[in-house]
């Protein structure tokens, strides 16, 4: 009898659940955050029936309780190459290239996540994966030492990579192989309280940048946070205080809006954890290391290239004019300025759609479905919407934001440690080391939108005319819709 095979979506789901249990046992505040976010989300859907309906329409309501993002930091090209293969077993693929050197963090990153709608629906687990850029470390002796230490470590259990080989050869794993894979792969993300280096080496690395010490001094790339998704980050932030968790000074992203866009995140400070440092010529030495932190996030609509441009411009103007330090000085001026300047960004779903600033999922309404036998239907999407035949709901942003990631990094590697690396985006090298091209997230959202429109227009009638019109409007590089 043929062996039963495991679906990649199930493997991802199992690994995330195992990782979440492991993290909860290691970082009790994570359990507190999960409870808090579950309570806040339940209140939010109760208080806002419109949001509830939209989440039901997109199927997000079902995935909300298990929606997590996490992050790891890795040290070598070989590790990056292999981690891509490991994530592929779980149906997670590299999406987006993020150059963090602009923000003074010597890494570049991608997000491994599911890309197909059904897979996102099943479990949208995403892992922000950063590769240390040794080429940006100024001190040549330290660079060579870091390289030497990293080249000696193996972050994957041999069996994990054997099972990856099986997956690549067969295109799938059997159920027992999948179970073994989850058990083995989980070990790569585990926290190690014993360093692979002695205290002197750790201090040297740490003095260069705590992030470098974090990547180089341990057996593997510990998952440094697992973030649940909240529907109301303002309420969750207040709740954090109530549960004795101190959030950082600002929420990365925008002030509260009627129509949430992209991502808003906030974190609590990294934990100081006991570590044993290896000592080659004597007793091991006890010390500490800070790397793991807690984070919550609220996801909003995915923006088109035009929407993103406007968002980036407005955000950059506030960041240029208001400086915030780690203690939160000037956080309130920042918030006020942010709200003020973002008045230029539409806060109305219809306008966001008509101006081509955000992506939407279209569906036929009951009236639309019933309309097919009425004869010729209106010829544009706008007309179908105003006739009540077609409705649209925001497509949730599934990715990360460089500016937000940088803020999270900095608050957890200490803002005082910020360095100024010349911005040195190096996507070709990253992709060569990854062994794959990263997917363009905007293309993925555009495909979802297009597919939803095609599906919605069919039962309404006149699909070709309406569809052609709609797509012309969306792909207009000027960004303004002719239907405005
Ligand atoms: C990555 C932090 C980035 C986010 O949510 O933007 C991140 C890290 O600290 O390794 O997780």
pLDDT for 223-236, tens place per residue?
999 999 999 999 99
Q: Which pLDDT band holds residue 105 (cuts at 50, 70, 90)?
A: confident
388 and 264, same structural domain?
A: no
Per-residue pLDDT band for 479 (boundaries 50, 70, 90) equals very low
Which residue's C-alpha comes closest to atom 6 of ligand 1?
405
Does the pLDDT of residue 369 top 90, yes or no? no
**pLDDT confidence tier of residue 344, bands split at 50, 70 and 90:** very high
Torsion of CA 75, 81, 82, 84, to 10 degrees: 110
130-152: average pLDDT = 92
Whether 19 is covered by a domain: the verdict is: yes
Answer yes or no: do 369 and 284 share one domain. Answer: no
Atom of ligand 1 nearest to the CA of 128: 11
User: Which is it for the CA torsion 165, 166, 170, 175, positive or negative?
Assistant: negative
Atom 4 of ligand 1, nearest CA residue: 405
CA 330/CA 262 separation, integer angstroms: 24
The lowest-confidence range among 43-52, 256-265, 414-423 is 414-423
How much is the pLDDT for 65?
Answer: 86
If pLDDT is split at 50, 70 and 90, which confidence band does 326 have? low
CATH number at residue 241: 3.10.180.80
For residues 293 and 219, the answer to whether their CB atoms sit within 8 Å is no
Non-local (6+) Cβ contacts of 205 within 8 A are: 142, 146, 197, 212, 213, 216, 217
Query: Does residue 375 register a pLDDT over 70?
Result: no
Q: Is the pLDDT at 52 greater than 60, yes or no?
A: yes
The answer to whether the beta carbons of residues 94 and 110 sit under 8 Å apart is: yes
Q: Is residue 328 part of a domain?
A: no
Name the strand (E) or helix (H) holding 12: helix 8-26
Of the listed ranges 132-141, 267-276, 372-381, 464-473, the one predicted with least confidence: 464-473
Tokens for 107? 């890494």
CB 408 less than 6 A from any atom of ligand 1: yes
Shared domain check, 367 and 284: no
> Does residue 325 belong to any structural domain of this protein?
no
More confident residue, 22 or 371: 22
Nearest-angstrom CA–CA distance, 206 and 13: 35
CB 295 within 8 A of CB 267: yes
Among the ranges given (80-89, 299-308, 337-346), the one the predictor scored with the smallest mean pLDDT: 337-346
Structural domain boundaries enclosing 459: 360-393+442-484
Kindly state whether residue 49 falls inside one of the protein's structural domains: yes
Domain match, 389 and 405 both = no
Same domain, 257 and 206: yes
pLDDT of residue 421: 61
Cα(104) to centroid of ligand 1, in Å?
14
Between CA 328 and CA 457 the distance in angstroms is 50
Query: Ligand 1: distance of its center to the CA of 116 in Å?
Result: 23
Helix (H) or strand (E) holding 77: helix 77-89
Asked whether residue 431 falls in the same domain as residue 452, the answer is no
For the chain, give the mean pLDDT: 87
Q: Are residues 248 and 387 in the same domain?
A: no
Binding site membership of 130 for ligand 1 (Cβ less than 6 Å):
yes
Query: How many angstroms is it from 169 CA to the middle of ligand 1?
Result: 33
pLDDT at 482: 27
The pLDDT of residue 415 is 46
Q: What mean pLDDT comes out for the span 140-169?
A: 96
Contact 377, 389 (CB under 8 A): yes
pLDDT value of position 338: 84
Asked whether residue 41 is assigned to any structural domain, the reply reads yes
Mutational test site, ligand 1, from 124, 295, 407, max ligand atoms within 8 Å of CB: 295
With bands split at pLDDT 50, 70 and 90, how would you rate the model's confidence at 419? low
Question: Average pLDDT for residues 189-201, to the nearest whole number?
Answer: 93
The pLDDT-based confidence of 143 (bands split at 50, 70, 90) is very high
Q: Tokens standing for 34?
A: 């999960």
Atom 9 in ligand 1: residue holding the nearest Cα: 409
- In degrees rounded to 5, what are phi and psi of residue 57? -60, -40
Amino acid 59: pLDDT: 81
- What distance in Å separates the CA atoms of residue 40 and residue 266, rounded to the nearest whole number? 15
The neighbouring-strand residues paired with 239 are none
Higher local confidence (pLDDT), 7 or 333: 7
Whether residues 239 and 374 fall in one domain: no
Most confident of 163-167, 202-206, 385-389, 399-403: 163-167
d(C-alpha 107, C-alpha 173), whole Å: 33
pLDDT over 50 at 8, yes or no: yes
Same domain, 447 and 429: no
| Whether residues 145 and 203 fall in one domain | yes
Over residues 174-180, the mean pLDDT reads 97
Establish if 12 belongs to a structural domain.
yes
Question: Is position 236 within any domain?
Answer: yes
pLDDT band at 416 (very low <50, low <70, confident <90, very high): very low
Counting ligand 1 atoms within 8 A of each CB, the residue from 405, 410, 412, 414 with the most, and so the one to mutate, is 405
* pLDDT at residue 100, as a whole number: 87
Contact (Cβ atoms closer than 8 angstroms) between residue 329 and residue 336: no
Same domain, 299 and 369: no
Is the pLDDT at 317 greater than 80? The verdict is yes
Neighbours of 70 (CB within 10 A): 20
Per-residue pLDDT at 86: 98
Q: How far apart are CA 367 and CA 418, in angstroms?
A: 57
C-alpha 132 to ligand 1 mean position (Å): 14
| Residue 80 belongs to some domain of the structure | yes
Q: What percent of the chain has pLDDT over 90?
A: 58
Task: Return d(Cα 330, Cα 338) in angstroms, integer.
Answer: 12
Q: Are residues 191 and 274 in the same domain?
A: yes
Cα-based distances in Å from 123 to 14, 63, 118, 120: 10, 6, 9, 5
Q: Select the more confidently predicted residue: 249 or 286.
A: 286
Helix (H) or strand (E) holding 213, with range, is helix 210-216
What is the pLDDT at residue 432?
Answer: 97
Q: d(Cα 472, Cα 469) in Å, to the nearest integer?
A: 5
Collect all residues with Cβ–Cβ distance below 8 Å to 299 and sequence separation of at least 6.
229, 260, 262, 263, 396, 397, 398
Q: Is the pLDDT of residue 480 over 50?
A: no
Q: If pLDDT is split at 50, 70 and 90, which confidence band does 170 have? A: very high
Give mean pLDDT, residues 357-381: 83
**Three-class secondary structure of residue 109 per DSSP:** strand
Q: Is residue 64 predicted with pLDDT exceeding 60?
A: yes
pLDDT at 330 over 70: no
Partners of 301 in beta bridges: 261, 396
Q: How far is the CA of 292 from the centre of ligand 1 (A)?
A: 11
**How many domains, in total, are found in the chain?**
2
Q: Is it the case that residue 91 has pLDDT exceeding 70?
A: yes
Select from 139, 128, 290 the least CA-distant residue to 213.
290
């Amino acid at each position: 009898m043929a062996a039963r095979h495991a679906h990649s979506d199930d493997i991802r789901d199992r690994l995330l659940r195992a990782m979440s249990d492991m993290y909860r046992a290691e970082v009790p505040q994570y359990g507190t955050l999960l409870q808090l976010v579950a309570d806040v989300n339940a209140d939010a859907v109760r208080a806002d029936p419109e949001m509830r309906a939209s989440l039901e329409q997109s199927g997000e309501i079902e995935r909300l309780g298990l929606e997590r993002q996490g992050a790891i930091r890795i040290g070598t090209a070989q590790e990056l190459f292999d981690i891509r293969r490991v994530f592929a077993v779980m149906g997670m693929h590299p999406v987006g290239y993020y150059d963090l050197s602009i923000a003074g963090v010597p890494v570049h990153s991608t997000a491994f996540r599911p890309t197909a709608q059904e897979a996102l629906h099943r479990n949208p687990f995403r892992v922000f994966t950063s590769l240390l850029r040794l080429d940006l470390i100024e001190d040549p002796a330290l660079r060579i030492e870091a390289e030497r230490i990293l080249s000696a470590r193996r972050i994957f259990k041999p069996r994990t990579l054997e099972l990856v080989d099986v997956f690549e050869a067969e295109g799938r794993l059997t159920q027992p192989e999948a179970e073994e894979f989850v058990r083995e792969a989980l070990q790569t993300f585990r926290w190690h309280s014993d360093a692979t280096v002695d205290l002197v080496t750790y201090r040297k690395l740490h003095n260069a940048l705590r992030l470098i010490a974090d990547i180089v001094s341990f057996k593997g790339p510990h998952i440094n946070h697992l973030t649940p998704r909240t529907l109301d980050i303002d309420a969750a932030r207040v709740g954090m205080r109530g549960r004795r968790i101190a959030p950082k000074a600002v929420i990365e992203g925008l002030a509260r809006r009627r129509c949430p866009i992209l991502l808003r995140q906030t974190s609590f400070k990294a934990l100081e954890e006991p570590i044993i440092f290896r000592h080659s010529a004597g007793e091991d030495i006890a010390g500490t290391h800070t790397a793991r932190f807690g984070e919550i996030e609220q996801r909003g609509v995915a923006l088109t290239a035009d929407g993103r441009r406007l968002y980036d411009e407005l955000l950059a103007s506030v960041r240029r004019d208001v400086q915030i330090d780690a203690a939160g000085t000037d956080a309130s001026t920042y918030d006020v300025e942010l709200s003020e300047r973002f008045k230029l960004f539409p806060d109305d779903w219809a306008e966001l759609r008509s101006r081509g600033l955000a992506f939407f999922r279209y569906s036929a309404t009951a009236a639309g479905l019933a309309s097919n036998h009425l004869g010729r239907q209106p010829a544009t999407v706008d007309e179908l919407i105003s006739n009540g035949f077609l409705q649209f709901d925001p497509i949730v942003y599934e990715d990360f934001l460089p500016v937000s990631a940088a803020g999270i990094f900095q608050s957890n590697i200490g803002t005082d440690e910020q360095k100024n690396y010349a911005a040195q985006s190096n996507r070709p090298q990253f992709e060569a080391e990854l062994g794959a091209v990263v997917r363009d997230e905007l293309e993925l959202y555009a495909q979802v939108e297009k597919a939803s429109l095609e599906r919605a227009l069919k039962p309404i009638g006149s699909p070709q005319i309406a569809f052609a019109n709609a797509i012309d409007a969306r792909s207009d590089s000027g960004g303004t819709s002719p239907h405005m």
